[in-house]
Amino acid sequence: MKLDTPNLATPFYQAAGDEIAVFEHAWRNRLPLLIKGPTGCGKTRFVAYMAARLGLPLYTVACHDDLTAADLVGRHLIGEGRTVWCDGPLTRAVREGGICYLDEVVEARKDTTVVLHPLADDRRILPIDRTGELLEAPPGFMLVVSYNPGYQNLLKGMKPSTRQRFVSLRFDFPAAEREEAILRGETGCTPDLARRLVGIAGALRALKDRDLEEAASTRLLIYAALLIKDGMDAVAACRVAIVESLTDDPEVAEGLMEVVAATFGR
């Protein structure tokens, strides 16, 4: 868990549609929000941007198989000869009236996410059995979760009883013009470099489900742009920042590098 302090610097974010308005409507009406989309398409950045925009503390939790309800709510810790209760990120967000963001929520065990149910409906309460507290979420509190539908399967899906408690937004990779603007805004790279990298991404994304399990993300393009801007050879930067992150197969990697080389005239 980490606390992202708002308003120190508002993260760069390039809107794709009405997602900012949807988020604000959901927050004002005390509704939880689910964001679904592929890896690296901007879900986490969007939540950080909205927390800064609204001036709210943001608690981000990267969900995983071993995440327990106690990790979210809190636990008693022993120190200096006494037992002390320590709030988890979900509890702290409720107490402070901030945003609790559960990234890749389907990675958490289903028995863990059940703890979200009382907060994600009209009750907006968090029972803490170990302390006997029943916290009522203040108006500023918002629960936001995200996941990648491409990883959905029978074992790692969101229960209908959980999903139907949320307002939902669907994210995807940006259109070419917007993705170029994102690269320029994030890295300060030239329009020509942004155009070339977005062109590479478009070609590689066409290979998803054929030669690649995952598509080239906007995040990887940003990594490549930063390396190139720092003076690294463009083709070498694309290999380490994009290609090698997409595949472990040497033959597939070489095939992807042909796209890179053609783009940069090698």
Burial of 161 (C-beta count, 10 Å sphere; 0-12/13-18/19+): exposed
Burial of 23 (C-beta count, 10 Å sphere; 0-12/13-18/19+): buried
What are the boundaries of each domain within the chain? Answer: 2-170, 176-263
DSSP lists the bridge partners of residue 85 as 76
For 2-170, give the CATH class.
Answer: alpha beta
Per-residue pLDDT tens for 195-207? 999 999 999 998 8
3-state secondary structure of 58: strand
Per-residue pLDDT tens for 204-233? 998 876 777 788 999 999 999 999 999 999
- Per-residue pLDDT, 7: 44
**pTM for the structure as a whole:** 0.87
